[in-house]
Chains A and B, each alone.
Chain A
């Protein structure tokens, strides 16, 4: 037990090392939020473009661009995408790597979100669109007021899943020099030569983050479903 407290002291208390984990957590949260926002916006637009194309045959070029985007992003490792973004695309710019990371993760997540939302739109029966259009609503009014709200409810669990993946995936941002939660744990390890304590701490913080997110999303889901009883 004294061994444990000594280790605890050395890894977290001494030299205020716990502060590194807090700063790391902040970075993880910021990158996740940036990526989430960007990913949902990209995903939503790509999903709408693809659904609209499937239904009407219009938007040919945008649809082709979307398909290339989906293929490339889903077909290559996130790690490579981050490195290309940091070393090649923003290689000569002085932009903060926390922003670059957010953009790279956002573009990555957008591909998955797009397919999730598209599957949601496809899950709504054609009759819903027909009912909306037959009342005189335009395509976009029907989409916004009738299809998307129902689709969103159906795909919420899949979206939460994608968010959880995203939170954990940001751990690789350390490779482009950003000190996130994982990197912070590794820094402590490099000082104290103890891997167990800092990595366990990082793991527990990720777990708490994911559990918190799941808790609030379950609440949201219950509220959205309440009108079905």
Chain B
């Protein structure tokens, strides 16, 4: 409930009739939705439903075939838009962490802010230290990703994104590659972020997280949004047949 208080009426991302075609396969068949500042949107759905593709098209890692995406009022699907600039404001966390193995943990965190001149080296180092303290991994500052557990890697990947001070964080199945005992620590950090008012879009299979943290749950199937609502509505009385079937399988 607490997270709901953070939602305000300002639209952060506006998606209009988004379509994505891979060869002959239409993965997204027309998605229109809005994400407001402070919202925590959890996207669920069966595999192949297009939920990851949808998430990845929000920062154009998957360039949409058709449709528009407005981010902070700017049409980022316009080829003239400087997508690199907008991506600085859209953090992304991946299923497989994608830390840079040839860089230390601190370097992983400070690389982008320093290269993109958001901070000086000193400021970035200080920020990295704060973030590492926040996730309880200050002793890992000078180690390399290889030496970390999966849960630690994902927490570092999250704060690496946070170091850019993004306006929204996109999570692509952030706990799916983790050993079960490490899922909790990552979800805990995500909960904290939500509490602090971060706008989040999360593709996940963690229904507990959806129930507890989401301000809105979205069910995707066959490349479309089939149903959405608050966790209470969504889990309390699902209407869509496919959603009922899906929920009965995973709950």
Contacts and interface: CB of A to CB of B under 8 A. Distances in A.
Contacts of B234: none
A151 to B, nearest CB: 10
A137 interface: yes
A134 B164 CA distance: 11
A136 B111 contact: no
Interface residues of B, number: 28
A169 B19 CA distance: 55
Interface string A126-141: 0110111111111001
A173 to B, nearest CB: 38
A131, A132, A228: residue with the most chain B Cβ atoms closer than 10 Å: A131
Interface stretch (B41-49, B97-105, B133-141, B216-224): B97-105
Contact of A134 (B61, B104, B116): B61
A130 B116 contact: no
Interface in A101-155: 125, 127-128, 130-138, 141, 145-146, 149-150, 153
A191 to B, nearest CB: 54
B112 interface: yes
B154 interface: no
B88 interface: yes
A190 interface: no
Given A131-B98, A135-B161, A136-B164, A145 B146 contact: no
Given A130-B61, A228-B144, A228-B146, A136 B112 contact: yes
A216 B20 CA distance: 51
Contacts of A128: 98, 100
Contact of A145 (B92, B101, B104, B111): B111
8 contacts: A125-B96, A131-B94, A135-B112, A136-B84, A136-B85, A137-B116, A138-B84, A227-B102
* Ranked 9 nearest A-B pairs via Cβ: A136-B88, A131-B98, A135-B112, A134-B92, A127-B98, A136-B87, A227-B144, A136-B84, A138-B84
Given A135-B161, A136-B86, 10 more contacts: A127-B94, A128-B100, A133-B87, A134-B59, A134-B90, A135-B160, A149-B102, A150-B101, A227-B102, A229-B146
Interface of A: 125, 127-128, 130-138, 141, 145-146, 149-150, 153, 227-229
